[in-house]
Structure 1
Amino acid sequence: MKKPLFAPLILAFSVLLILVLIPNKWIEKLIPHDRVSQAATELNPFMFQGKYVQSKMLENQHFLPIFGSSELARLDRFHPANYFQVNKEGVTPFLVGRGGTESLIHFLNLAEHKDQLRGKKLVFVLSPQWFQPGGADESHFAPNFSSLQGYDFAFNNEINPVMKKKAIKRLLKFKAVSADPMLTALYDAEISNDPFAKRKAQVIKPFALMYRNLLVKKDLYYTLAGGLHRHRDISTKVKAKSWNQLEQLADQLGQKESRTNKFMIIDSQYRKLEKRIPELQNTKEGATYGRSVEYQDFQLILDLLHESGAKALFISVPVNGKWYDYVGFPKEGRKAYYTRIRQQIQKSGFSVADFSNHEYDPYFMKDTIHIGWKGWVYTDKAIEDFYEGKYKKSVSAMVKPQKNMVYTTRDAEF
């Protein structure tokens, strides 16, 4: 006797139903205890877009969250993930970000964990390239948008209502959000006085909650299954070195790895650009990072961190001065960004390690836009002082590599 053709469908549905009905606490008990440590340097987008791993990370005072974008993937011996692993036992940087994770994405992520941020020390690495006139575009926003974080934000009643409305108005400009009819309905009800929009959201709310719960369970199953498990080579060449020695090592490695060009760009990256170099000259005339909608998005982060009571250090990364001069990007357009971002952070009461005077510092940048080599040494020093509560003292007790570093803060002593 032949089995019914629909038997596999019934079996699949039964398995799915069982997986959905299993209590979340049971799944959590099965997740390995070292899963958070594994995720610390994996730069796994599923972790960024999830909830469980970051929640557990924020519970542990040994983890230091470092938020940023594509520069976090430029792992080398001077990178904070390596430096702190071999020099500071008990301090583990937890990297959050990849290319395209700009202000709005980070805001949604932080809003997800607002109740865990009070007194928490964290670091933000800022890229001038975020501050294009139009801010984040769809091609960068969509791959990094988290539906789970988006739905949790809709149901989050702990967020300041004014801040929430500002964020929703921006989020609805992206197709990754506006193309979701349930999420759009929830968001519309938050920012509209239309009774119909309010009633529509009430009808949709139970279904949206069910979907949100499914996304939570999906996150737990993914965490249980494991992440990327990338093997990261650890270099001990930066162990027990003074800051002067680290700067010298960074100079030596930078010189060795960028021999082919006058821009001091790492050779592997320069080879990708080499054929296009002539056509790129003076293509950025008249450009500026001083005017951008991204400043409004970034202010959402500052407001959220201030309201939550977090303690944050912002790293203001420069551009590669020689390269930017070559492509004709005006110095005024760069300076406008450095000044505006520093003042914006200060006004919100946070600390900023301002490296804007290192545009022409050899081997401070690894390529045209990403920090590297010596830049990471300076960043490590700023992070270490911040973490150890010596940040203000480092202004007057600066060692040689930091003689040009500018620290500003309106915070009390950490």
Structure 2
Amino acid sequence: MLKRLWLIFGPILVAVVMILAVILLSPISHKKHDLFEEKRAAVASSAIVFKNAGLKNQALSDPNHRFVPFFGSSEWQRFDEMHPSVLAAAYHRDYTPFLLGMKGTESLTQYFGMQQIKPQLKNKQAVFVVSPQWFVKEGQMPQAFEHYYAGDQAYEFLMTQTGSKAEQYAAKRFLAMMPESPMTKMMKKVAKSEKLSTLDRNELKFLKHLSQREDNIFDGLQIKDNYSKKVLPKTQKLPQKYDIDVLSQKASALGKAHTKNNPYGILDKFYTKRVAGQLAELKESQKDYDYLKSPEYGDFQLVLDEFAKENTSVMFVIPPVNQKWQNYTGLSQEMYEKTVAKIKYQLTSQGFNRIADLSECGGNPYFMQDTIHLGWNGWLAFDQAVAPFLTQKQTQPSYEINNHFLSQTWANQTDIYR
């Protein structure tokens, strides 16, 4: 019976395997640039795009259109008329934000994602939103890291490792997130500053090739069309000429129109779905929150180390929290201010001096869309800081990386930073 089945289905199986082998092992052909598809990918804000090296490389290397990586997390999905992608499209800026981040994409996730686009970061510009809320005691959640992880992030990291302290730290953090990964053995070598063998490197080259083929095959699938549905329609609602006074009036009007059912300045839909049903339970719920001690500080240092290696000129944006909501939930203002000071010290002491600190603006009218995310006037303030950075000539920064910021001592330091 088995022999008969093999005679019937064996040739078909062999043919399928051979076809797959040809597809996966054949030379990789570079696709032509398609600006519309690249713009769709830039605002898709999805795990598929975040993990797909081909999609990111395609846009960020387009010689005829300038895409700039905007690193962050869930704020990118808060589309309104003042969202940076909408403003860039409406006013025909010479750059288009390529949004990299969703809920759970914190520093470690961003660092490994950056491994896929290092040539596109070299001597270029970037924007990085760093939220104090990332710096919790537990740090990056393994489930979130794994959700946004793609194999070639590790392949690229391993193939270019040099034995640095940052790479050792990154390998240890990777092992903490994914201890059962197929890359565990090689990551352990890097964590111990051991060199990879020739066999290891040949395996990585093969795996990288397979990953690139997979990216090319599936890169057009399941990309949300936020560009046509959420960006372009909103550009039509803005004044034809960029006028900050007119835009501020419109932003305030939009904020007022969409925050009518609560006293906290929170988007009506968000308040109804996420807050109203548990309002009593949330009172004073954040009084014990502490962002001063966290492994996130070491993970954030990895990002800074990568930017320094690629000589990337970066604007960092520190968003605020909703002041009215902060008062209701009891989040410590002193702790929050110290967290911001700690983040800024880690940046400025190493030469990362371009910082848009919006942390004190959480009480401004219609600055926030919900409890922690920018909206309306907040996005306008973001744009007022970021657009000049990207459109006006900038001096090249000089970085001095300090590995002390990878230490447990720094992660737990809570005193004043000078």
TM bucket, shorter chain: 0.7 to 0.9
Counterpart-to-counterpart distance in 2, 1:72 and 1:174: 25
Matches for 1:9-408 after TM superposition, within 5 Å: 9-25=13-29, 28-29=30-31, 32=34, 34-60=36-62, 62-157=66-161, 161-175=164-178, 178-181=179-182, 183-192=183-192, 203-223=199-219, 227-230=223-226, 231-233=228-230, 234=232, 235=234, 236-238=236-238, 239-272=240-273, 273-350=275-352, 351-389=354-392
Q: CA deviation at 1:299?
A: 1.1
Residues 113-168 of structure 1: CA distance to partner in whole angstroms, max 9, x if unpaired?
Answer: 333323211111122221111211112211111211112111114x6722211111
Classify 1:410/1:286 alpha carbon distance in 2 versus 1 (closer, same or farther; 3 Å): farther
Unaligned runs of 5+ in 1: 393-408
The one-letter code sitting in structure 2 at the alignment partner of 1:23 is P
With 83-92 and 271-280 compared, the bigger mean Cα shift is at: 83-92
Counterpart-to-counterpart distance in 2, 1:379 and 1:160: 38
Classify 1:377/1:213 alpha carbon distance in 2 versus 1 (closer, same or farther; 3 Å): same
- TM-score, normalised on structure 1? 0.86
Contact 2:88–2:96, Cα closer than 8 Å, also in 1: yes
With 322-331 and 185-194 compared, the bigger mean Cα shift is at: 185-194
Q: CA deviation at 1:391?
A: 7.8
Classify 1:53/1:380 alpha carbon distance in 2 versus 1 (closer, same or farther; 3 Å): same
Residues 288-320 of structure 1: CA distance to partner in whole angstroms, max 9, x if unpaired?
Answer: 222211011111111211221111001110011
Q: CA deviation at 1:208?
A: 4.0
The one-letter code sitting in structure 2 at the alignment partner of 1:121 is Q
- Aligned to 2:123, the other structure's residue is in SS state coil
Counterpart-to-counterpart distance in 2, 1:278 and 1:65: 40
The one-letter code sitting in structure 2 at the alignment partner of 1:232 is K
Q: CA deviation at 1:255?
A: 0.9
Counterpart-to-counterpart distance in 2, 1:262 and 1:380: 27
- Aligned to 1:95, the other structure's residue is in SS state strand
Unaligned runs of 5+ in 2: 400-418
Q: CA deviation at 1:62?
A: 1.5
Residues 81-123 of structure 1: CA distance to partner in whole angstroms, max 9, x if unpaired?
Answer: 0001011343211111111111011111223333332321111
Contact 1:349–1:410, Cα closer than 8 Å, also in 2: yes
Q: CA deviation at 1:241?
A: 3.4
- TM-score, normalised on structure 2? 0.85
The one-letter code sitting in structure 1 at the alignment partner of 2:344 is R
Q: CA deviation at 1:202?
A: 5.4
Classify 1:309/1:368 alpha carbon distance in 2 versus 1 (closer, same or farther; 3 Å): same
The one-letter code sitting in structure 2 at the alignment partner of 1:246 is L
- Aligned to 1:16, the other structure's residue is in SS state helix
Contact 2:126–2:315, Cα closer than 8 Å, also in 1: yes
Classify 1:84/1:131 alpha carbon distance in 2 versus 1 (closer, same or farther; 3 Å): same
Contact 2:41–2:223, Cα closer than 8 Å, also in 1: yes
Residues 210-263 of structure 1: CA distance to partner in whole angstroms, max 9, x if unpaired?
Answer: 223211211111225573344334223333132122121111111110101111
- Aligned to 2:229, the other structure's residue is in SS state coil
Counterpart-to-counterpart distance in 2, 1:255 and 1:377: 15
Task: Report percent identity of matched pairs.
Answer: 29
Contact 1:128–1:319, Cα closer than 8 Å, also in 2: no
Match of 2:412 in 1: none
Counterpart-to-counterpart distance in 1, 2:97 and 2:169: 31
Counterpart-to-counterpart distance in 2, 1:59 and 1:47: 15
Contact 1:263–1:323, Cα closer than 8 Å, also in 2: yes
The one-letter code sitting in structure 2 at the alignment partner of 1:374 is N
Q: CA deviation at 1:75?
A: 1.0
Contact 1:43–1:95, Cα closer than 8 Å, also in 2: yes
C-alpha root-mean-square deviation of aligned residues, in Å? 2.6
Q: CA deviation at 1:186?
A: 0.8
Q: CA deviation at 1:184?
A: 0.8
Counterpart-to-counterpart distance in 1, 2:290 and 2:32: 51
Classify 1:411/1:360 alpha carbon distance in 2 versus 1 (closer, same or farther; 3 Å): farther
Classify 1:30/1:378 alpha carbon distance in 2 versus 1 (closer, same or farther; 3 Å): closer
Q: CA deviation at 1:66?
A: 0.8
Contact 2:313–2:397, Cα closer than 8 Å, also in 1: no
- Aligned to 1:123, the other structure's residue is in SS state strand
With 65-74 and 204-213 compared, the bigger mean Cα shift is at: 204-213
- Aligned to 1:90, the other structure's residue is in SS state coil
Counterpart-to-counterpart distance in 2, 1:355 and 1:367: 15
- Aligned to 1:64, the other structure's residue is in SS state strand
Contact 2:121–2:312, Cα closer than 8 Å, also in 1: yes
